[in-house]
């Protein structure tokens, strides 16, 4: 009642509070997907397809920064503390992009690249994109405005993340370097 909404209307239209919550999450997803749909571009080279997916991912994440932060906060909360909405979010929103990233990364990587390496590369892309959403204040505090305008806009960030990913994927560098790194021991990094 505090919001001036008839509780019976919520039950009528959505079934219960969880039904209302699911519709809010769906609405956020649709609002972010509609202007930035996943393209059907099989005739474009793998590098260009990777760049396009990264640009779309960044665009969806950076949409309305400062204006609709409650949407991003709600999505982050759902990922951190999953409810019934999480599975639908994964299936409808995350999995299609993840599958496309993995397919593109497989095309860019040497034949036989293990699937877990492709998954790690895909999550690395997501993590880099996500940082620019959740770490925007840190970037503003540490990088001068004129540098941010030129090097931290969507296109520049998408090019950078694509370049880093290509350097890791092509030639199997990610898998090869990771395998060659020494394994730390608990003596080197004691747990407290």
CA-wise closest residue to 60 among 87, 30, 90, 81: 30
* pLDDT for position 1: 52
How would you write the pLDDT of the chain (192 residues) with one tens digit per residue?
Answer: 566 777 787 788 788 888 988 999 999 889 889 999 988 888 899 999 999 999 999 999 998 766 667 888 888 899 999 998 899 889 988 999 999 999 999 999 999 999 999 999 999 999 999 999 889 899 999 999 999 999 999 999 999 999 999 999 987 777 777 777 788 777 777 776
Residues 74 and 20: their CA atoms lie apart, in Å, by: 14
> SS3 letters for the chain?
CCCCCCHHHHHHHHCCHHHHHHHHHHHHHHHHHCCCCCCCCCCCCHHHHHHHHHHHHHHHHHCCCCCCHHHHHHHHHHHHCCCHHHHHHHHHHHHHHHHHHHHHHHHHCCCCCCHHHHHHHHHHHHHHHHHHHHCHHHHHHHCCHHHHHHHCCHHHHHHHHHHHHHHHHHHHHHHHHHHHCCCCCCCCCCCC
CA angle, corner 151, sides to 72 and 143, nearest 5? 75
Domains observed in the chain: 7-178 (1.10.357.10)
* pLDDT for position 107: 95
* pLDDT for position 44: 92
* pLDDT for position 3: 66
* pLDDT for position 64: 74
* pLDDT for position 63: 84
Q: How far is CA 45 from CA 41, 128, 143, in A?
A: 9, 22, 33
């Amino acid at each position: 009642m505090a919001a001036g909404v008839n509780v019976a209307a919520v039950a009528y239209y959505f079934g219960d509070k969880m039904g209302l919550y699911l519709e809010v999450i769906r609405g956020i997803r649709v609002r972010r997907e509609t202007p930035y749909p996943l393209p059907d571009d099989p005739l474009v080279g793998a590098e260009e397809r990777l760049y396009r997916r990264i640009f779309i991912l960044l665009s969806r994440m950076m949409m309305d920064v400062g204006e609709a932060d409650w949407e991003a906060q709600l999505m982050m909360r759902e990922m951190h503390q999953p409810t019934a909405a999480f599975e639908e979010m994964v299936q409808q929103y995350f999995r299609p992009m993840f599958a496309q990233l993995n397919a593109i990364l497989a095309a860019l990587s040497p034949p036989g690249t293990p699937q877990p390496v492709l998954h790690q590369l895909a999550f690395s892309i997501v993590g880099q994109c996500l940082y620019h959403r959740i770490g925007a204040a840190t970037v503003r505090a540490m990088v001068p405005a004129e540098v941010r305008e030129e090097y931290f806009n969507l296109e520049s960030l998408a090019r950078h993340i694509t370049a880093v990913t290509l350097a890791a994927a092509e030639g199997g560098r990610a898998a090869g370097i990771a395998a060659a790194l020494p394994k730390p021991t608990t003596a080197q990094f004691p747990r407290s």
